[in-house]
Each structure stands twice: as C-alpha cells, then as structure tokens.
Amino acid sequence: MNELPQIPEDRIKAASQGLRAIAHELRLSVLCLLLERPMCVHELIEATGAAQSNLSQHLSKMRMLGILENEKRGQEVIYRIANPAFADLVHALKFIYCPEMCVAPKGEG
C-alpha cells in the first residue's frame, strides 16, 4: 500500500560511517579550518589547541577514511580535504549551526 523507499543497507552503513568520522569536536574543527585552505599540522595544532599526538591520530584516522589527503613539504605535512562530499557536509553543518557565518562572505552593502 505505502511504498516506503528502502535505502540500501550498504548506503546506510557508508553514510553512518562517514558521519561518525566527523562527529567529533576536534575532527570537525579541523574540517572547518581546512574548509578555508590547506594547512600544515602545526597550524592546526595552534588553531585548535589540541595536543600534538592527539591531533595527529585524528588526522591519520580521517586520512585513512579518505576524508583528508596530505602532502609532505619539507618537514611539514600539509593536509587538505580530499573528498568534496565531506566539504559539502561540513558546509551544510555550518549553515545549520552557524548561519551567521554563512552569509555575506566578505565586504558589505
């Protein structure tokens, strides 16, 4: 009678895994920062105030999940968002949780 749209299990699994990957204060902060531009680890440390080892582990986790990618530049390692889907998601989140930061990006009237 009512045809509910069954979402395939593997999609649900992938989506919830993706969500879990960003559902963490520090990881989300990092993603918001990287939304602006790629950054090296110590910039991220400074901006977030996280402990080096801790941040490194979170970066590593996100890299393994394909969310971030990195590039070595001298002794620095520069991280950026690898998967545009996650950039979209984080943008959507900013719209929801920080609407005032999403209007009128620069200049005014």
The site for DNA (CB under 7 A) is made up of 20, 24-26, 40-42, 45, 51-54, 56-61, 70, 72, 74-77
Distance (Å, whole) CA 97 – CA 64: 27
Q: What are phi and psi of 3, to 5 degrees?
A: -90, 95
Stated as kind and residue range, the H or E segment containing 78 is strand 76-81
Q: Which stretch of DSSP H or E encloses residue 40?
A: strand 39-40
In whole angstroms, the minimum distance from the beta carbon of 46 to its own copies comes to 10
d(CA 59, CA 72): 14
- Which of DNA, its own copies, none does 65 bind, CB closer than 5 to 8 A by kind? none
Q: Which does 61 bind (CB under 5 to 8 A by kind): DNA, its own copies, none?
A: DNA
The smaller minimum CB distance to DNA, of residues 37 and 72, is found at 72
Find the shortest distance in angstroms from Cβ 14 to DNA: 14
